[in-house]
Structure 1
Amino acid sequence: MGIFYTAPCSLAIGAEGIKSSVSGLGPDQFDQKDEKEKAQMTHFFNMFYFITSYGTLLAVTVFVYVQDKVGRGLAYGISSGFMFVAIPVFLFGTKRYRYKECKGSPVVQVLQVFVAAIRKRKAEFPYDTRLLYDHSPEPGEARIYHKDKLRCLDKAAILTKEDFENNRFSNPNPWRLCNVTKVEEVKMLSGLMPVWSTTILHLTIHSQLSGFTIQQATTMDASIGNFQIPSASFYTFFTGSIMVTLAIYDHLILPLLKKHKMSEKTGLGLFFAILGMAAAAQVERRRLSVVRAQRGSNTLTLPVSAFMLLPQFILVGIAEAFMYSGQLDFFTRESPNGMKAIGTDLFF
């Protein structure tokens, strides 16, 4: 049993590590100062999720069939084989990738700003914000100028005599004093939290489809003639709607839009998610009424078509397409330059 519980945990850690790393590595290959490459980055996010959904589509069709007809061992073996092939394919491009210089952990920077601000919580603000510690950022790092929001964090940039460990010419203790650029980067990251919070409930909808809705399908009639559709294969309609939505948006809608905002794309995703859950509520209401009517019956399958579940799969799939690509693009663009990794990790 120990191996049984360890394997899924290891799989979850590895999968999420790959997803967050790839979504961070991809945007690094585009120069945001180049307008042409900046425009191509939106297509990257759409294609990234399109290909991810294609893999999911194979999982809920081909691999479900292999599991049912042959065995789980072969299905897991094929999946492992694809992962082994992916490693040399990824390594093949190591000399062509664009690399950005590692400038320390962004998590440490966030902690430093908060610790410094707490230490100086009783310090008086200078009469002029230009008196805040605005030491030049490191080479290759863009300067960010002070903004009048989240003023409590500005205390991390107030100069005091205890900030320099040895003498006035030494580097300041970063846990006591942070320059304005670092403070503003943490402010920018804090500004992403309200948008990030909208993904929490949306992810519960995703888990609803992959868990409860699949269980609903097992109790309903999922046959077409003499062919019985595996309940897990209904997830195909979810991934299929994602792929169709991304293809239509990327090739038909996006070229017609002169200006598009990722916040609008996210809002559209939330709208379709609401419609999907409304449809799910109606289906469950109908299913429960049949369960009450069939009380006392020995029939395991309810006389209700499982295809009633399709509207919620399709609507939530459309929502997922807009939410996933929209928020991934939003977090990547709006995160500070030194905190792009945290921005994409927030989404995953």
Structure 2
Amino acid sequence: MANEISIEYGEFEDWRGKKADPTKHGGVRASSIACVVEVLENMVFLSNATNFVTYFLKSMHYPAAESANMVTNFMGTSFLLTILGGFISDSFVTKFKTFIIFCTLELLGLILLTIQAQDSRLQPAINNKPSRSQEAILYTGLYAIAAGVGGVKAALPAHGADQLDHSNQRLISSFFNWFFFSVCFGGLIASTVMIWIEENLGWNWSFKISVVTLSVALCIFSMGFPIYRYKRPGGSPLTRIYKVLASAIGNRKVSLSEAENIEIFGNRNHDKSRFLNRALIGDTVTANEVEETKTFLGLLPIFASTIMMNCCLAQLMTFSVQQGNIMNRSLNNFKIPAQSLSVFPLMIMLASIPLYEYLVRLFRIKNNLPSKFNMFQPLRRIGLGLALASGSMAAAATVEAKRREAANNNVILSVFWLGWQYLLLGISDMLTLGGMLEFFYSEAPDSMRSISTALSWISTSMGYFISSALVTISNSVSGHFGKEWLGGNDLNHSRLDLFYTLLCILNFLNLLNYIFWAKRY
């Protein structure tokens, strides 16, 4: 039975439901479509994330603090809902259909907000908050987009990787490198072209362009259907995990030696989860389901260890932008928009990915290594990224202390001083997120690749939420000892440097925690 399940999960089909032909279906050409689509989709997502603040303030007349929280909640929810998209993709429909469904949902949400933005009757009067019906339209469109983004980001990278030969880990690694390149390239367009459009032509143009761009992305992805290969969903993996856990707990009084007399399917027996072998007592659970559960549970400590890095990443969209707004942003006769500061790390990341691919290829050829050679294993790549996250917060604390001291002496520092924290955290994000996508996809049970890939985005979501919680806790604790670190609206009278120092220490401790779990994996 277990062998039959494994074979079923491993088979790929063409769009007619017949066995996929390796010469006609899948391959680099099919997977590259996912990268092209991700450029357009991420451009739409990030440009709207920056556009929403202006829209909520100027058109919907929400207070500044409430507008900022609405955007933070939107982004956090978008990434969190990747678990829903991953679950549907692994359980009920193919990754192709999951993308089509959720991308269409995101497009419908965008169209609804575009209509509201163009019709003054659907907006509140000046200095008035929206009515209930206006809020209903706003939140329906907003969270339709969030749900759509969640499904798209869960299904798209897994669908792209499914097109490749899984025995060639170097090819899988290369795909995720270029997929991350696409994420960054979409972010670069959002941080330059879209911000220029918003500032010079008006934020309402952003909605119109987003609708057209996402429609093009949906069409491009759909046109590839004849050359894709598809994997049939294997039913709810969460149900199987629950069944294994329930059976293991129910048989907890049975000795492990008795349970392990039953032949274990496969060659991956995670000793650290041996207690799950008790689930094999009886006929309700297969050995394949036990191994699937062990493998997925083994990913969770690595996932949890990456959340704190994303907490640092959240600062680039909040406090770093506030710092930039009160620093000297002039470059000759051009004034750099504070929201465009992320251009610098994005450009570094975009350059580093093809450079990395070139160096790996050069090293492989020079040393006569096989084409499957992979220079950096994902766990080492993630670890390096987490180390750089701690270093970025140390740099951020140092720069903020210097900026604050200069401001007290009526000197305004150049915004380029922020380049250190943007650069280090940008490279950290490249290493960590790229490594996570590859690691969770490659190590995941065959029937749980979408859910496991979604863990990378859920880590980002939880990082945003924990960032908000840390700000609240820091203010509460520091307020008891005199003055809140981040109280008020003037950073010159706040202690953002101490908050960055706290993040540096927490990230260093988190790095030690990660090393512990990575060595045990």
Using structure 2 for the length normalisation, give the TM-score: 0.57
2:161 to 11, 27, 31: 27
2:344 to 237, 242, 246: 237
Name the structure 1 match of 2:188.
57
In the TM superposition, what whole-angstrom CA distance separates every residue of 1:215-257 from its partner, at most 9, and x where no partner exists?
1111111011222111101111121122122121112245426
2:390 to 258, 264, 274: 274
In the TM superposition, what whole-angstrom CA distance separates every residue of 1:125-148 from its partner, at most 9, and x where no partner exists?
45362336x6x8xxxxxx456553
1:101 to 232, 244, 256: 232
Three-state SS of the structure 2 residue aligned to 1:213 is helix
Closer, same or farther: CA 204–78 of 1 in aligned 2, 3 Å: same
Partners of 2:362 and 2:378 in 1: CA distance: 15
Partners of 1:144 and 1:5 in 2: CA distance: 49
- Is 1:198–2:305 an aligned residue pair? yes
1:340 to 446, 449, 464: 449
Closer, same or farther: CA 253–144 of 1 in aligned 2, 3 Å: closer
| Contact 1:144/1:184 (<8 A) preserved | no
Partners of 1:44 and 1:146 in 2: CA distance: 29
Amino acid at match of 2:456: F
Alignment of 1:3-152 (within 5 A): 3-33=137-167, 35=168, 38-127=169-258, 129-131=260-262, 143=266, 146-152=269-275
| Contact 1:273/1:316 (<8 A) preserved | yes
- Following TM superposition, by how much is the alpha carbon of 1:109 offset from its aligned partner in structure 2, in angstroms? 1.4
- Following TM superposition, by how much is the alpha carbon of 1:47 offset from its aligned partner in structure 2, in angstroms? 0.9
In the TM superposition, what whole-angstrom CA distance separates every residue of 1:95-137 from its partner, at most 9, and x where no partner exists?
21111121112111111111222222233445362336x6x8x
Name the structure 1 match of 2:431.
322
Partners of 1:193 and 1:128 in 2: CA distance: 25
1:179 to 282, 286, 294: 286
Name the structure 2 match of 1:310.
419
Closer, same or farther: CA 255–273 of 1 in aligned 2, 3 Å: farther
Amino acid at match of 1:9: Y
Q: Which has the larger radius of gyration?
A: 1
1:287 to 388, 403, 412: 403
Amino acid at match of 1:149: K
| Contact 2:270/2:294 (<8 A) preserved | no
- Following TM superposition, by how much is the alpha carbon of 1:316 offset from its aligned partner in structure 2, in angstroms? 1.1
Partners of 1:272 and 1:62 in 2: CA distance: 29
Task: Return 6-15 or 273-282, whichever deviates more.
Answer: 6-15
| Contact 2:262/2:280 (<8 A) preserved | no
Listed as ranges, the gaps of 5+ residues in structure 1 are: 137-142, 160-171, 295-301
| Contact 1:145/1:180 (<8 A) preserved | no
Partners of 1:77 and 1:30 in 2: CA distance: 35
- Following TM superposition, by how much is the alpha carbon of 1:89 offset from its aligned partner in structure 2, in angstroms? 1.0
Using structure 1 for the length normalisation, give the TM-score: 0.84
Name the structure 1 match of 2:61.
none
- Following TM superposition, by how much is the alpha carbon of 1:194 offset from its aligned partner in structure 2, in angstroms? 1.9
Amino acid at match of 2:174: H
| Contact 2:259/2:278 (<8 A) preserved | no
Partners of 1:193 and 1:199 in 2: CA distance: 10
- Following TM superposition, by how much is the alpha carbon of 1:4 offset from its aligned partner in structure 2, in angstroms? 3.4
Amino acid at match of 1:288: R
Partners of 1:147 and 1:271 in 2: CA distance: 27
Amino acid at match of 1:278: A
Partners of 1:255 and 1:262 in 2: CA distance: 20
Partners of 1:109 and 1:154 in 2: CA distance: 14
- Following TM superposition, by how much is the alpha carbon of 1:61 offset from its aligned partner in structure 2, in angstroms? 0.5
Listed as ranges, the gaps of 5+ residues in structure 2 are: 1-129, 365-372, 458-521
- Following TM superposition, by how much is the alpha carbon of 1:196 offset from its aligned partner in structure 2, in angstroms? 1.0
Partners of 1:42 and 1:236 in 2: CA distance: 25
Three-state SS of the structure 2 residue aligned to 1:118 is helix
1:189 to 292, 296, 301: 296
Amino acid at match of 1:18: V
Amino acid at match of 1:27: A
**Percentage of identical aligned residues:** 32
Number of matched pairs: 314
| Contact 2:392/2:424 (<8 A) preserved | yes
